Structure formats: C-alpha cells, structure tokens
Amino acid sequence: MLSVVTFWPLLVCAVLLLLPRTLPDRAYHRIWIGATAAELALVGALWAGFDTGGGTQYEQRARWIPGAGVGYHVGVDGLSLPLVALTSLLFLAVAVFSARERRRVRSYVCLFLFLQTVGTGLFTALDLILFFVYFDLSIVGMFFVIAGWGDGERARAAAVKFFLYTFLGSLALLLGFIGLYLAADPHTFDIVDLTRGNPLAGRGTYAGLVLLAIGAGLAVKTPTVPFHTWLPPAHTEAPAAGSAILAGVLLKMGTYGFVRVAMPLLPGSWRQYALTIAVAGAVSVVYGALVALAQTDFKRMIAYTSVNHMGYVVLAVGAAGTLAGTDAQARSLAVTGAVTQMVSHGLITGALFLLAGVLHDRGRTYAMDAYSGLAARTPRFAAVTAVAAFAALGIPGFSGFVAEFQILTGSLASQAVATAVALTGILITAALFLTALRRMFFGAPRLPPTLPDGALTDLRATETWSTGLLLAVALVIGVAPRWLLDVVEPAGRTLTGLVAR
C-alpha cells in the first residue's frame, strides 16, 4: 500500500512521457490535478486505516542490496503520517495553483510528480540508505525546478548554490549513516533494527562524531543558523510552486531526520548535546525573525521566517533531550509541538509563498516598497494574505499557535533561558508581518511603475482555491487539533521514551 502511494506520482509521470507531445498544456495540467487528488485520496485511506496506538504500520520489507545491509523497508507511524499527508496536500495545492504555467509544461508536471514521489518516499523510508537516496534525489529535482523555471541567470546561480550547499550537507549525512552502519552488529542500515539495537550506546566520542555528521547534514537542510544562507536566494529565484514545495516538503526532510534518525538512533549523544541543539534552535528563532524584519523583499522575508519557524522545531527536539528538571509529559508535549510545527509551517508558509508568486505575477517584483494600498485594488488577495500572515505569526485558531504553544510550554522547564529567548520571536514575527501588510496593502494605492495601468487582477479561482485549501486545513488544525494530535502524541511519547533510555 505504501509503495503504491509512494510511486503513484512517478508512474503518472512515466505515462505522461509516453503521451504524444502534441497534447495541450491544459491536458497535462488536468492529469496532474487528477493524479495528486488521487494521491491525496490514497493518503486519506491510509489515515483512515491508521491505528493511533499501533506504532509503525503499513510496513513493507524487501531485499535490495543484502550484501551491504541495505533493504527496501517502508512504514509510517505518528511522526511520518502527518508529513506524508502534508506532502500530498501541498502537491495538490501546487498543481491547482500552476494552471497558468506555460513553459515546458510536460517536464514541469513530471518534475513535480517526481518530487512528490521523493518526498513521500523519504517520509516513509525506514532504511538509512533509502532515506539518503530520497534525500539526495530531492536536491536534484529541486535544482531543475529552480534552474529551469526560475528567472534567468540569477536563478541558475541560486540553483547551483542550493545544490552544492545541500549536497555537501547530505554527504555529511551519509558519513554519519556509515558510522552507524559500522557500529551495528550485524552491520545494517535498517532504522528499526538500529533503533532497537542502539549500537552507539556508551561509545562516547565516536557517537558524538556520528551525531555531528548527521546533525550537520540535517541542519543544512532544515536550515539552522548558520547553515541557512542557501535558502533565501533559492526561495527568491524559484518559481512560486517550487518555493512552496521547497519550504513545505524539503525543509521538513531536515527536521524529520532529527525525530526519525538522530534522536532514536543516538539517544545518548542527543542527551549529551541537547543544550547545544536547543541553543541553536533558539538562535535560529530570534536571528531568523530579526533578519526577516530587516528585509525589503517580500519573498526573502518569508524565506527568513522559515528559518525562524524551523528554529522552534530544533528548540523543541533539543528540549526533548534534556531530562533534568522535566517530566515526560513536558518532553512529549515539545516533540508533539515540533511535529505539529512541521505540518503547520508547510501549510502556512506554503500558502504564503504561493501568494508571493501572485504578487510577482502581477507586479513583476517582490520589492515591498514598490507596492502600496493593494487592498483597494485586490481585496481578495489582501484578505487571503492577511489571514496567512496572521496564521504565520501564530494567532490562535490556526495551526501555528497549536504548534508554538506546545513547543514553548513543553520546552520551558528543560531549557528555560533558550525558550525565554525564543519567546521574543513571536513578537518579532508579528512586527514583521504587520509591517509588510501595512506597506503593501494599506495606505494610498501605488503600483510598480513598470506595470501598465489597470492591469491588476485580483486572485484567480485557481489561486484562491490552492491557498484557501492550505489555510483551511491550518484553520481546522488550529480550531480542532485533536484528530492530528491523537496521531502524533503516541509517537511523540514513544520517541521521548527512546531518547530517555
């Protein structure tokens, strides 16, 4: 079942490549929406059949490279299922949003279908090498999206930077994985076996080095300060749909790696370096928010808020590794908050990037100073952006609050200073989003001089539906979060137990 879910988009891609080239763009687009909707339905079936207290489910194992201890092993639990669902939802939203893409539509659709398989595959992988393969392929796919559908020479430079930087990170990750493999007896890359065996227990420096390699690899992808500078150019130059996927799915691969690999496989070292990790998280939160506050480019600003939002996740997983002065409830609250934050950030920031795409489509620039009083001309665009901005700044009623509240309350006991510092991030993000809204949407109407008069359209139906879909799910999670938390909480408790052993 999981393999079907994973490879269905790739299968559709293969079929698309067999179809005659003369097919109109609209047909490709329709097929794409159909395929992603079917994928979402499949994931819905997965969710419906998921037993919340049942641990890892839908497991599949097959021999792949037995000589090297590598197997095809997939399955989902409460940590991965929400992310699988997020992936399918985001790709559907992106498919709907991309109705007006006219450049090499066949390749475009195929590339996104490929990325969908890669994303779903990564979140279901239970083998380190399988995980690594998807981790690397995601970089490849996104490289082509940025280089091929971004704007000009700058986009290609950003794509190269993105590729090389994150590729370096994934090499560090591979090094760490090999370190784990060598320590295990018998040698294996299987995550479940490694979790059970805990091969690096009591292996001081060696375990520390393995955590360093894995941590650095994941920190680049997350991204955590100071490994974040590939993100702003990649986001700014990528097309809107690419940015949404990059923020919504690819960044999650880093944070998901923490909860899937680093924490359960290296519990001793994780506890030892929990303070460092929590501090890195808190620094990312405040630093990301402050740098975002100083931006004049709307999309770049959102990119930096991603650093801020992902910082909360890192803070939470760091706090979950601190046993002193806490009880299991607080730690599992932090972990649950971290997973909720991943989902929430995917939904809300995904929507914000799509809206930034709308802005660029209308005004040909992301510079906030170029716009003023847009709310008078494009009321629907203004309203949806305002809602997305408030959701992103953590207003209750949207998923961001549910995540941040759990993270902050769960982390305070174990990492009091780091959490107190991170708390100010809430205020700074509020300030930056309000400033952006005020600059662009309120006041006297003014448009970029390059724009012909009267050529300003409000949100189109596809744009409204795609962003509305994401925000609606964020709203549902914010108002009634139990259906999500019931899935995440047992897995969070298991994880805190694994870290504490």
Binding footprint of other proteins on the chain (CB under 8 A): 161, 164-165, 225-226, 228-230, 287, 290-291, 293-295, 325-327, 329-330, 332-333, 336, 373, 375-376, 390, 394-397, 401-402, 405-406, 408-413, 416, 419-420, 423-424, 426-428, 430-431, 434-435, 437-438, 441-444, 481-482, 485, 489, 492-493
Buried/exposed 165-201: b ≥16 CB within 10 Å, e otherwise: bbeebbbbbbbbbbbbbebbeeebbbbbbbbebbbbe
Two tokens, residue 255: 């944070």
Q: DSSP letter for 66, please.
A: G
The residue (of 273 and 433) whose beta carbon lies closer to other proteins is 433
Q: DSSP letter for 64, please.
A: E
Beta bridge partners of 59: none
The residue (of 76 and 413) whose beta carbon lies closer to other proteins is 413
Q: What is the nearest approach in angstroms of other proteins to the Cβ of residue 58?
A: 25
The residue (of 182 and 472) whose beta carbon lies closer to other proteins is 472
The residue (of 216 and 265) whose beta carbon lies closer to other proteins is 216
Q: What is the nearest approach in angstroms of other proteins to the Cβ of residue 402?
A: 8
Q: What is the nearest approach in angstroms of other proteins to the Cβ of residue 414?
A: 8
The residue (of 125 and 333) whose beta carbon lies closer to other proteins is 333
Q: Which helix (H) or strand (E) element contains residue 62?
A: strand 57-65
Residue 204 has phi, psi (to 5 degrees) of -10, -95
Q: Residues 390, 393, 398, CA angle at the centre, nearest 5°? A: 60
Q: What is the nearest approach in angstroms of other proteins to the Cβ of residue 474?
A: 15
Give the residue from 136, 97, 80, 92 showing the smallest Cα distance to 343. Answer: 80
The residue (of 302 and 485) whose beta carbon lies closer to other proteins is 485
Q: What is the nearest approach in angstroms of other proteins to the Cβ of residue 485?
A: 7
Q: What is the nearest approach in angstroms of other proteins to the Cβ of residue 239?
A: 23
Neighbours of 480 (CB within 10 A): 11
Two tokens, residue 403: 């995540």
The residue (of 177 and 230) whose beta carbon lies closer to other proteins is 230
Give the residue from 249, 248, 258 showing the smallest Cα distance to 224. Answer: 258
Contact between 445 and 372 (Cβ < 8 Å): yes
Q: What is the nearest approach in angstroms of other proteins to the Cβ of residue 199?
A: 30
